[in-house]
Amino acid sequence: MNVILLGPPGCGKGTQAKRLEKTKGLVQLSTGDMLRKEIAEKSDVGVLVSDVMDSGQLVSDDIIIKLISVRIDAPDCKNGFILDGFPRTMAQADALSQMLTHKGLSVGKVIELKVDDDAMISRITGRFSCSSCGTGYHDEFNRPRKAGVCDVCCGVVFTRRADDNEETVRSRLVAYREQTAPIIAFYDKMGILSRVDGMADIDKVEADLIAVIG
């Protein structure tokens, strides 16, 4: 099955998509991760999108749709994928429908993670990850067991996303409310939308997602 995870920045889409990769064998397709890779590689796309991402605005639909279309064709997507951070505009939702029809594919479930806006700001501004293995941590809610050492790979270098500062997070939340939230109604009308409480304990959220996906 192909799944879309919807919800504002910091709602846990990325964390839960990674868990579902393991439990359900679905591939996480995060457009944010794809763009950060392009920036790290200093590709033409990376150079184009870097300032836009730093400001918390949305990258142009054309760039995103091209990235996703190519990625979906990769063999590892054959058994199903989870879209994390895409679609984010009505134009992207329309393009996705057309693209999937053209590829003979479809979306089985769209799941909105419901969260509280204020909680999002502290969730995001406190997060960091291990530079070696990518394991995510939080200053307040989820520190490494030994300070400064990754629990998983013992790495000692950690990074924070450039756009995880409070000012940019506020812009990202505005972009979500204005451009992404309206697509929830679109999927609701199609009859494939479910809602899960994203404020619950991390294991409970995962269990609820699995119950929806089946």
Q: Any idea which residues carry the catalytic annotation?
A: 13, 88, 127, 161, 172
Q: How far is the CB of 212 from ligand AMP (least distance, A)?
A: 21
DSSP codes joined into one string, 156-202: --EE--TT-SHHHHHHHHHHIIIIITHHHHHHHHHT-EEEEETTS-H
Distance CA 72, CA 103 (A): 9
Q: Closest approach of Cβ 81 to ligand AMP, in Å?
A: 14
| Nearest CA-CA partner of 199 in 117, 109, 140 | 117
| Nearest distance, CB of residue 39 and ligand AMP, angstroms | 10
Task: Judge contact between 93 and 186, C-beta under 8 A.
Answer: yes
Cβ closest to ligand AMP, residue 131 vs residue 191: 131
Comparison of 42 and 146: residue with beta carbon closer to ligand AMP: 42
Three-state DSSP state, 3:
strand
**Helix and strand numbers, DSSP H then E, in the chain:** 9, 8
Check if the beta carbon of residue 194 is closer than 8 Å to that of residue 111: yes
Which of 71, 172 has the CB closer to ligand AMP?
Answer: 172
Judged by beta carbon, residue 156 or residue 167, the one nearer ligand AMP is 167
Residues near ligand AMP (CB under 6 A): 9, 31-32, 35, 52-53, 56-59, 64, 85-86, 88, 92, 163, 172
Closest CB 19 distance from ligand AMP, rounded Å? 17
What is the number of the residue whose Cβ is closest to ligand AMP?
32
